[in-house]
Amino acid sequence: MRAFIYTGGKINKQFITEHPKGEDLKIAADSGYANAVALGEKPDILLGDFDSIGKKPEGDIETLEVPAEKDFTDTQLAVETAIRRGADDIVIIGGLSGRLDHTLSNLSILEDLWSKHIHAVATDGFNRIRYIDSSSALIPKSHYKYLSIIAVSDVLRGVEIEGCKYPLKNAKIERAFQFAVSNEIVGNCALIAIKRGKAFIVESAE
């Protein structure tokens, strides 16, 4: 099952191409409710401590209220809720702008979901991010102009980039020297492969 989790932060709704269909689960994490509404979506579940949403919306929506003082962020709780409801594919909308600590926390969620064998991507219309570990990804050409590989491991080994302006073959990327930034897809898609190491693949608009 696919789940969409709407979080807070600025979004560019014109360039968000991921939208729920049919029986996809829709969860709003606190102020993410406003982003869901802006995208024309009605969440199935509203979750959080409601410190930033203000008045809770009325109507037929499942509400899960949690204490303001807790060990997890609203986004983390929304992800865990989605998993408990059977999600094996998660799209996080928002959560990539505003407070840097929340952004970094949300990126860590992608790493955790990978370890649980759950496909995941985060997007706000300005950027789209996925995580891979010693694996590959096929990235279709879209409105995002730039494509970057950001090393999470100290060293990435056997890095391959095909279908881009700046290809790589069996390259090494160090976390302390992130040079695989601002590449551009020149074909219909790009193939990113990493023989060993963990990384974020980041698509960015101009």
Domains in the chain with CATH codes? 2-125 (3.40.50.10240), 131-204 (2.60.120.320)
State the pLDDT at residue 102.
83
Nearest to 173 by CA among 183, 186, 163: 183
Cα–Cα distance, 6 to 146 (Å, whole number): 24
CA distances from 134 to 128, 168, 169, 173, 183 (A): 20, 16, 15, 13, 20
Answering whether pTM is above 0.85, one says yes
Residue 173 pairs in a beta bridge with 156
State the pLDDT at residue 79.
96
Residues of the chain with pLDDT under 50: none
Q: How many Cα atoms sit within 13 Å of 151 on the Cβ side?
A: 21
Task: DSSP letter for 115, please.
Answer: H
pLDDT one-digit tens code per residue, 93-126: 999 987 888 899 999 999 999 999 999 999 999 9
